[in-house]
A and B are shown apart, each in its own frame.
Chain A
Amino acid sequence: MNWLEGMAKKSAKGGAVSVRSVNYSSSPLLASPTPAWRSKFLVAMVGLGFCALIGRAVYVQIIGSSFFLKQGEIRYGRTLEMPASRGRIIDRNGLILASSVRVPSLWAIPKDFDANKAERAKLAKLLGMSVKELEGRLDDNQNFVWLRRQVDEQVAKEVLALGLKGVHQVPEYKRRYPEGEAAAHVVGFTNLEDKGQEGVELAFQRDLAGRDGTRRVIKDRLGRVVEDIGDSVQPLDGRDIELSVDSKVQFFAYQRIRDAVAEHHAKAGSVVVLDAQTGEVLALSNYPSFTPGDRRNLTGQQLRNRALTDTFEPGSTMKPFIAAWAMETGRVTPNTVIQTAPGSINITGSTIRDAHPHGALTVAEVIQKSSNVGTVKMAMQMQPREIWELYTQVGFGQKPQIAFPGAVTGRLRPYKTWRPIEQATMSYGYGLSASLLQIAHAYTVFARDGELIPISLVKKTEPTNGIRVFSPKTAQSMREMLHMVTEAGGTAPRAQAMGYSVGGKSGTAYKQEGKGYADKKYRAWFVGMAPINKPRIIVAVMVDEPTNGKHFGGDVAAPVFSEVVQQTLRTLGVPPDLDVRPQIVSNEIPAEEESF
C-alpha cells in the first residue's frame, strides 16, 4: 500500500495548485511514467525516415542521375530517321528526266493477318497477284512480309479500306521517269532500294544519293514530338545531275530510229547526236528500248545501250581519216588522181575489190564514191605505226572518256602484229572495231577544224579545248569531200536535209558472226555533220540487220540522219544555210471582206 499513499500525496500536492477545481484530467492511475527513450526513439525513427528520403533523393538526383536519365530516355526518347531524297536528273533545259516521288508500300504481319476467303481474293486482286501467291507470301515469315512495294496511291487506299487486320503501309521513294522509253538508256533506272542500276543513275550514284539524317527526340504519351535532345544530323539531299541531253532532240532521234527500224524490218538501231562545238551528247537513243518505270518483262535486248556497248567494224567511215592523213602529210592533195581501175588490187595474194570499178578518181572522188582500192593505195604508202597512231589519237581502241557504265573500248590491235593485208583492210575499216559513239566522237576532228574534243554527258559551261590531229586546212577540205558524198554522184544523196548543207560518210558491212561474216546480215550506218561550213552537230546513225530489201548505209541510215539533222538544228535555232524554195502562201493577196 505504500505506493498508493505516495500517489495520494502527490495528487494532494497537485490539488493544492488548483484549488478551485477537481483535477479530472489526470488520473493518477494513468500517469504512468513513460520512459523517455520511447519518445526519443520515435522522433529518431521519423528523422531517419526523412534522412532515407533525402538520401534517396540525393541518390536519384545527383549520384545515380545518369542512370535514371538514361532510363527515362529509353522510355520516351526516340531516334527519328530523316530520309534524304535522291537528286533529280534533268536535261539541259531543266526538264526532269528522273525524280523521286513518295509512294506507299504495303506490308503485313502474317500472325496478325486475319481475313476470310472473299477478302483474301479481293486483296490478291488489288495487289495484282493470285490468291495462291499471296498465301505463299504470307507463309514466308511470321512477323513481317512485304505484300507489294511501291504501289499506286489509289491501290493503297483501296487495300486499307478493306480494313484487314495486320496490313499496314509505309511510305517509300520511287523514281519516276517522265520521258519514258525515249531516254531510258541514258537515264537508266534504280532498284527498290533507290540504288542506281543502269545508265546515269548508276554512273552518278554517289552524287545522286543523299545522306540520311537522324535526330533524337522525346515523344510524349500521344506520340507527339515535344523536345529535341542531343545532336541532330541534318539529311543531305542528293545533288541534281544536269545532263547535256536535250529531251526534244532525244525524243525526236528515238522516234526516227524507231520508225526506221520498223520500216526496214531491222533488229535494232541507234542514234548519237553530238554538239560539235562543246562535245556534249545531245541525244543518245537506241531501239528497242524499255519503259524504266515498269521493268517486269525486260529482256537483255531492250536493255542494251547499243550506241555505247555494241562494237562493229567501222568500215567506210574510216576512209576519211586515211585520206585526211595522206593530205596532212603532203602525200596527196584533194585533186591528186589515183587509178582505181580495174576495181581491184592485190595485196600479198589477197584481192581487195570495189563494189563498182571506177577508173581514175581524184582523192575527193575516192571519198565521194567510197572506193576501197583508192583508199588502200593511199594507206599502203604509210607506215603501220602512222595509221595506228592516227586511229589511237582519234579514240579508236581507247576507252571513251565518258562517265557512263558499260562504254566499251573497241579493238585496235598493236601495229607490230599487222600483216600488209591487215594494214590494207584496216584503212577501209575492217579488222578493228568501235562503238557508234566512238565513231561519232572521232568525227569531231573534221567538225572542229582538226581538233578532237572530249565528249560529255553532263552539261558544260565552259568551251572545250581539243587536241589537234589535223590542220584546219585539211579538215576543211575533208568537210568538202564529205559534203560531196551527199551530193549527186556520192553514196548518200538521201542524207541531204532541207535547208541545211550536210556532209558525212555512209558505211555498210556484213555482220560478223563467230569467226566469219554472216551471209545476208548487214549493218548500215551513216556519220555526218551539219551545217557543213561551220558544223554545229555531229549525227551518227546505225541500223542493225535491215532486211526489207535495202541494206546500204546511204539508203537505210542516211534518211534518218537527214531528218534528225533538220529537226535538231531547228530546235537549236540554227538558221538554214541553203536556200529553200519557200512554199509559204503569200500574205499579199487581199482578202475578201467578210460581212457580219
Chain B
Amino acid sequence: MTRLNVVMLIMLLASSIYLVRVSYDARRLFAELDKAQSEERLLDIEFERLKTEKQSQATPSRVEKTAREKLAMRTANPAITQYVTYAKAAASTPTGGTR
C-alpha cells in the first residue's frame, strides 16, 4: 500500500513538472507565433506601400513625359498605324507594320 502511494506520488510530481514545462513551451511558442504574425502584417503593409510606390513611378503622366522627353517618342495616330485584323492575319502574315 505504501509502495503504491510512493509510486503515485512520484508520478504526480513528474506530471506536475511536465505540466510546468509544457505550459512554458506553449507560451514560448505562442509568443513566437504572435511575433511571426505581426511580422507578416508588417510585410503585408510594406508590400502594399511598395506596390503603391511602384505605381506612382509608372503613372501615365510620368510614362508620357519620359517617352516624349527622354526617348523622343510621339503619340501614335491612325495615320501612322497599320491596322491588322485578326482574320487577315491568319490568312496571310502581315508584312509588318510600324506604330
Contact = CB atoms under 8 A, between A and B. Distances in A.
B76 to A, nearest CB: 7
Contacts of B97: 584
A102 B48 CA distance: 9
A575 interface: yes
Interface in B58-89: 59-61, 64, 75-83
Given A95-B55, A101-B52, A251-B60, A580 B34 contact: no
Nearest to A99: B52
Closest 10 CB pairs of A and B: A499-B78, A178-B56, A251-B60, A226-B27, A224-B31, A101-B49, A225-B34, A178-B55, A580-B78, A576-B78
Nearest to A103: B49
Interface in B6-57: 27-28, 30-31, 34-35, 45-46, 48-49, 51-53, 55-56
Contacts of A570: 76-78
B27 A220 contact: yes
Contacts of A588: 95
A96 B55 contact: yes
Interface string A564-596: 001100100001100011111101100000000
Interface string A234-256: 00000000000001100110010
A100 interface: yes
B78 A251 contact: no
Nearest to B44: A85
Given A498-B78, A584-B97, A180 B59 contact: yes
A41 B75 CA distance: 109
A567 B79 contact: no
Given A102-B45, A583-B80, A587-B96, A176 B52 contact: yes
26 contacts: A101-B52, A176-B52, A176-B53, A176-B56, A178-B52, A178-B55, A182-B59, A182-B60, A225-B30, A226-B28, A228-B30, A248-B60, A252-B60, A498-B77, A498-B79, A499-B78, A500-B78, A567-B75, A576-B78, A576-B83, A580-B78, A582-B79, A582-B80, A582-B82, A583-B79, A583-B80
A519 B53 CA distance: 48
A475 B31 CA distance: 70
A370 to B, nearest CB: 29
A227 interface: yes
Contacts of A498: 77-79
- Interface size class on chain B is 20 to 34
A182 B56 contact: no
A587 B93 CA distance: 14
B31 A226 contact: yes
Interface SS, B side: helix
A194 interface: no
A582 to B, nearest CB: 6
Interface string A335-366: 00000000000000000000000000000000
Given A102-B49, A582-B82, 11 more contacts: A99-B51, A176-B49, A176-B53, A182-B60, A220-B27, A224-B31, A498-B79, A499-B77, A567-B75, A575-B83, A583-B80
Interface of A: 85, 95-96, 99-102, 176, 178-180, 182, 217, 220, 224-228, 247-248, 251-252, 255, 498-500, 566-567, 570, 575-576, 580-585, 587-588
A570 to B, nearest CB: 7
Interface of B: 27-28, 30-31, 34-35, 45-46, 48-49, 51-53, 55-56, 59-61, 64, 75-83, 95-98
B96 to A, nearest CB: 5
A499 B79 contact: yes
Given A99-B52, A182-B60, A251-B64, A227 B78 contact: no
Contacts of A96: 51-52, 55
A580 B52 contact: no
A247 B56 CA distance: 12
A517 B56 CA distance: 44
A247 B27 contact: no
B28 to A, nearest CB: 8
B56 A226 contact: no
Contacts of B45: 85, 101-102
A495 B8 CA distance: 99
Given A178-B55, A225-B31, A251 B61 contact: yes
A359 B22 CA distance: 102
A575 B78 CA distance: 9
B30 A227 contact: yes
Contacts of A178: 52, 55-56, 59
A219 B83 CA distance: 67
Contacts of A581: 79
A567 B61 CA distance: 14
